[in-house]
Amino acid sequence: MIEIRNLSKHFGDVKALKNINLSVQQGEFFGLLGPNGAGKTTTVNILSTLLKPDDGSVTLNGLDLLSDPRGAKRLLGVVPQELALYEELSAADNLHFWGKLYGMQGNSLKARIRHLLEFMGLNDRGNDRLTTFSGGMKRRVNLAVALLHDPVILFLDEPTVGIDVQSRHRIYEILGKLHQQDKTIVYTTHYLEEIERLCERVAIIDQGEIKAEGTLDSLRQLIQGDSEVLVMLDDISLKTAPADPLPAGVRLTDEGLLGSGDDVNDLVQKLVTICSARGWNIRDIELKSASLETVFLQLTGKELRD
């Protein structure tokens, strides 16, 4: 469905994308995970024909994106990071405007707008101006606009930025339904829980490079060791802890020390020794399986929030 080959892009001296290769199958929910500035938005901008790559090729459903961008645009629905809507207009008017730009008109457009407002749970607010909408409702209209022309491929660029947990879950539900409708979805985010909840496969991108690609399970197997141990510290210890450097394979989280390794017993002993040497008080010890965050940390050397 989506084939990306040797894609490169630079802005001045900054290499935003370095020889990226990716494949996304039809109906797949594919996650592109990376910190801010990793190259996610540049990738989506190229895939949505906004930017031309310096090198490489992209095919969508067998259609060459670079030679037939207008044809490709018909296949694509893009949900940009921004709320790209006219807040002075109602939800229905926004949908009507954007539908017209895709060549839709008359009763078929009206029917599509009704359907999408209902699908988004906004059928009773269709005629209200967006200025009266909550952030979550605007995000849903933002998503509805991308679905107007019933695209087979959907690019979502951090579509839940700046909204509360409840609204976020509402969007997850909608995306789940779209996935059931066999839409091919490429989802960029720096929220790990979104990737873990929604995506079947994921690519980790950092500094314009794909660091790893595969299912969540296959990615977890990439890191050394199968297990993680979290030694939870009391509040006083947590306050003093950031000042001390830690050995390799051990890092400090909001709750305490997290380490990964093959042998759980050795790992626990190692972490306990670190704590007693520094006079930190242990509150609890928890055994965990390797998380995607640990995978990310191992592959990129940095945390997602960096």
Partner 1 sequence: MLAIALKDLKIILGDRKALVLSFLLPIFLVGLFAFVYGSMGAPREEHPVNLLIADQDQTDLSAVIVTRLDSLKSIRLTSICLEEARQKVTRGDYPAVLVLHKGLADSISANRPAGLEMQYDPAQELEMGLLQQAIMLPLFEIIGRPALREMVLEEVRGDYPRLDPKLIKQIENNIDKSFRSDNISPRLQNRNAIIMTPLIPVERTSWALVQAVAGTAVMMLLFSVAGLGAGLLVERESGTLKRLLITPLHPMQILYGKLLSTLVISVLQLAVVFIFAWLVFGLDLTLNPSALMLVALATAFACAGFGLFLAAVSTSRKQVEMLSTLIILIMSAIGGSMIPLPIMPVIMQKLAAISVNYWSIQGFFDIFWRELPLWDILPRIFILFGMGFLLIAVARLFFKRNLAGLV
CB of 87 to partner 1, least distance (A): 8
Rg, Å, the chain Cα set: 22
CB of 49 to partner 1, least distance (A): 7
* Residue (49 or 260) nearer to partner 1, CB: 49
Residues 49-88 that bind partner 1 (CB under 8 A): 49-51, 70, 73-74, 76, 78, 80-86
* Residue (25 or 131) nearer to partner 1, CB: 131
Binding of partner 1 by 102 (CB under 8 A): yes
CB of 106 to partner 1, least distance (A): 18
The secondary structure of residue 205, as a DSSP letter, is E
* Total binding residues toward partner 1, as defined by CB under 8 A: 22
* Residue (87 or 286) nearer to partner 1, CB: 87
Binding mask 117-146 for partner 1 (x = CB under 8 A): ----------------------------x-
* Residue (39 or 261) nearer to partner 1, CB: 39
CB of 45 to partner 1, least distance (A): 6
Q: Are 234 and 67 in contact (CB under 8 A)?
A: no
* Residue (101 or 236) nearer to partner 1, CB: 101
Element (H, E) at 227: strand 227-233
Edge-to-edge strand list for the sheet holding 209-215: 76-79, 153-157, 184-189, 29-33, 201-206, 209-215
CB of 84 to partner 1, least distance (A): 4
Binding of partner 1 by 103 (CB under 8 A): yes
Binding of partner 1 by 287 (CB under 8 A): no
* Residue (73 or 283) nearer to partner 1, CB: 73
What is the DSSP pairing of strand 282-289 with strand 184-189? unpaired
* Residue (29 or 98) nearer to partner 1, CB: 98
Q: Are 58 and 22 in contact (CB under 8 A)?
A: no
Nearest CA to 300 out of 193, 229, 223, 238 is that of 223
Q: Are 56 and 6 in contact (CB under 8 A)?
A: yes
Angle at 118 between CA 116 and CA 123, to 5 degrees: 110
The DSSP string of 143-178 is HHHHHTT--SEEEEESTTTT--HHHHHHHHHHHHHH
Binding of partner 1 by 260 (CB under 8 A): no
* Residue (88 or 266) nearer to partner 1, CB: 88
Residues 170-229 that bind partner 1 (CB under 8 A): none
The DSSP string of 97-111 is HHHHHTT--HHHHHH
CB of 80 to partner 1, least distance (A): 5
Helix (H, G, I), strand (E, B) or coil at 192: helix
Distances 265 to 166, 262, 268, 276 between C-alpha atoms, Å: 40, 9, 5, 17
Q: Which residues bind partner 1 (CB under 8 A)?
A: 45, 48-51, 70, 73-74, 76, 78, 80-86, 98, 101-103, 145
